[in-house]
Amino acid sequence: MATTMSRSKPVTEQYTAQDIQVLSGLEPVRVRPAMYIGGVDKAGLHHLVWEIVDNCIDEVMNGHADRIEVELEPDLQGIKITDNGRGIPIDLHEQFNKPALELILTTLHAGGKFSQGNYQYSGGLHGVGASVVNALSERLEARVKRGGKLYRQSYCRGEAMTPLEILGDAHGSGTTIAFRPDTEIFATTTFDPKVIEERLEAKSYLHRVKITFKGPGGIQRFDHGQGIDGYLQRLVDHEQRNPAYEQTFYLQRENEPRMEAALSWVEDGDERVWSYVNGIPTAQGGTHDLGLRAGVVRALRNYMETHNLTPKNLKLSAEDLRDGLRCVLSVYVKEPQFKGQTKERLNNPEVQSLVSNGVAPVLEQFLNANPKHAEAVIERILQAARSRVAQREAIDMVTRKTATTRLNLPGKLADCSSNRPSECELFVVEGDSAGGSAKQARDRKNQAILPLRGKVLNTEQANLSKIQQNKEILNLISALGCGVGNKIDLSKLRYHKVVILTDADSDGHHIAGLLITFFYRYLPELIRGGHVYLGRPPLYRLRTSKQTLWAWDDKEKERMLRTQRAKPEITRFKGLGEMSPQQLKETTLDPASRTLYRVALRDEEAADLAVRDCFGKDPAPRFQLVMEHAREVEAQDT
């Protein structure tokens, strides 16, 4: 029998010039919005607001405006932002035969910030921000007051819908941009008033500008003339940290780069720096941030050496010298080089030494002029160094006790057969009963099960000596194989997915919280690397003769009941151990049907505060949390 084979074209012939697309105008923004705003999630949605607000701040920084107004529409899906600056130019651009306003809002890399003639300092240098907002809005209206007239032009998804028109006479000057984000682009288009409020308040401190915010809570006015000195005090108060000394060190430098810095030390906690460049928050730091940290270390070392305060039997690291540091740093750079359009990191190499050389001598002079404050800071540093040495010794002891070879893995660990960490998953479950069901339900090739007994140790309150003696924590460290504390080596992590799998009731949530606390405090690199997940087992099963449904909470159960014609049989699972292996596999373990939540660190300041409030030694924040939300609880597990 003869067989015939169809021959396909070679790959090179399949890929031709006809496959090349050229995107024009604002099409690239709508096709790849994440390139311009970081994503289409909540952060990306609010980035649209920051782009327009930062344009207003550019007018403020260069002395052309002193007021900004922001107003949310009642449905929270539209926003209007106004400044009293010069107003975007409206005259005709000769080369493109369009009003400058339309050119700026409909063309990438069109703006007045490419040279320093119009703006000495600017947060937006690429001529992209306003046009990106326009491209990603289903409606945008621009109003400009210039030369005694009020002008208006409307847009839809980046295209001008009306010509520029004169509405009438007007006093003063300024620009108003009102827009509604495009529902075709964003998963949600509802703005968070609290997020906007916090950003606007920070801008008021940084630039000493008057800002009015109108939201669902009414009208709020921010007028913080005390600047970043007051901002640092507010941030420390919000953290609920006790200052190591009362007076804040404040530095102001007028020569290039212009710089302001406010520094303090708190009694407990790692270092924390809130840094800004031309008013833009740089969440990932950068060269200005590195320069500040280097300058602080140099000033403290010089002061201690001058006054013979350096301990002979205790080696001080840079981290020790900065432990407890709280700082707001604001620099103004004429030609900033940011990492990406979202501007989260400054890359100018020359700024590092300039900031370091600006901070070090002035801070050292402050310490010499304020010996009582200097004494408090030095004592704080020595305390941090001694604590760090004790912590290292305890971690070393824990690491020695938890060998990472397979021969010394925990006895209760049901390991998987694969030796490839990238495909291996570790499910951390509560109790032997749940562990038994999970072991039968798992895929033995790439899913490992580690049962933990009872409530996990609260590592937020326990010292390392107590952690070292806790068998459950040691078993977990041993199973992971990557070390702990400053000994973490992610290349040795044996499972690239670590899934916390607890019961769907309040006890299960508590255990999950305790485990997340442990990971956050002692294995934070696992969270930052995207390796920690929460499993989502169902709380109810609703079964009729025709189908079986799973409900993950009471509200979902009630919703399902309203859609059923026949009354279903309802089973409430008191724990994972009550589920059959097949049920557990179908709902929680099988990648094809399960739901996992990745634990992420979007705001480390908020995460640190939440962990301390929920699991720290002080019960007052927990009591306050319970009292604030008690009425929201419909039922309580007993």
Residue 133 φ then ψ, to 5°: -60, -45
* Alpha helices, DSSP H, located in 308-370: 318-322, 349-369
Closest CA to 144 of 181, 104, 110: 104
Torsion angle in degrees (nearest 10) through CA of 329, 330, 336, 338 = 50
- C-alpha of 506 from chain center: 27
Find out whether 429 and 502 touch, Cβ atoms under 8 Å.
yes
Tell me the per-residue pLDDT of 476-511, one tens digit each, with 9 for 90 and over: 888 888 887 767 888 889 999 999 998 877 788 888
Tell me the per-residue pLDDT of 246-260, one tens digit each, with 9 for 90 and over: 678 888 887 777 889
Tell me the per-residue pLDDT of 16-67, one tens digit each, with 9 for 90 and over: 555 555 555 678 788 888 888 888 888 899 999 999 998 999 899 888 999 9
3-state secondary structure of 338: strand
Task: Please list, in sequence order, all residues whose beta carbon lies within 8 angstroms of the beta carbon of residue 603, skipping any fewer than 6 positions away.
Answer: none
Catalytic residue among 319, 423, 507, 525: 507
Instruction: Return d(Cα 422, Cα 379) in angstroms, integer.
Output: 46
Task: Please list, in sequence order, all residues whose beta carbon lies within 8 angstroms of the beta carbon of residue 542, skipping any fewer than 6 positions away.
Answer: 548, 549, 550, 551, 557, 560, 561, 564, 568, 569, 570
Question: What structural domains and CATH numbers belong to the chain?
Answer: 27-222 (3.30.565.10), 228-393 (3.30.230.10), 404-537+594-632 (3.40.50.670)
Half-sphere exposure in the Cβ direction for 411 (13 Å, CA): 3
For the chain, the distance separating the N- and C-terminal CA atoms, rounded to the nearest angstrom, is 74
Q: In the annotation, is 91 catalytic?
A: no
Percent of the residues in the chain that have a pLDDT greater than 70, as a whole number? 86
Q: In the annotation, is 237 catalytic?
A: no
Q: Give pTM, 2 decimals.
A: 0.63
Catalytic residue among 229, 415, 430, 472: 430
Read off the pLDDT band of 407 (50, 70, 90). Answer: very low
Instruction: Return d(Cα 633, Cα 506) in angstroms, integer.
Output: 12
Catalytic residue among 83, 460, 472, 503: 503
* Alpha helices, DSSP H, located in 168-286: 193-207, 228-239
Hey, what are 15's tokens? Answer: 């890929």
Task: Please list, in sequence order, all residues whose beta carbon lies within 8 angstroms of the beta carbon of residue 462, skipping any fewer than 6 positions away.
Answer: 470
Instruction: Return d(Cα 517, Cα 502) in angstroms, integer.
Output: 15
Tell me the per-residue pLDDT of 167-215, one tens digit each, with 9 for 90 and over: 999 999 999 999 999 999 998 899 999 999 999 999 999 999 999 999 9
pLDDT score of 215: 92
Q: In the annotation, is 320 catalytic?
A: no
Q: In the annotation, is 364 catalytic?
A: no
Closest CA to 486 of 522, 515, 516: 522
Torsion angle in degrees (nearest 10) through CA of 504, 505, 507, 509 = 50
Catalytic residue among 268, 505, 525, 578: 505
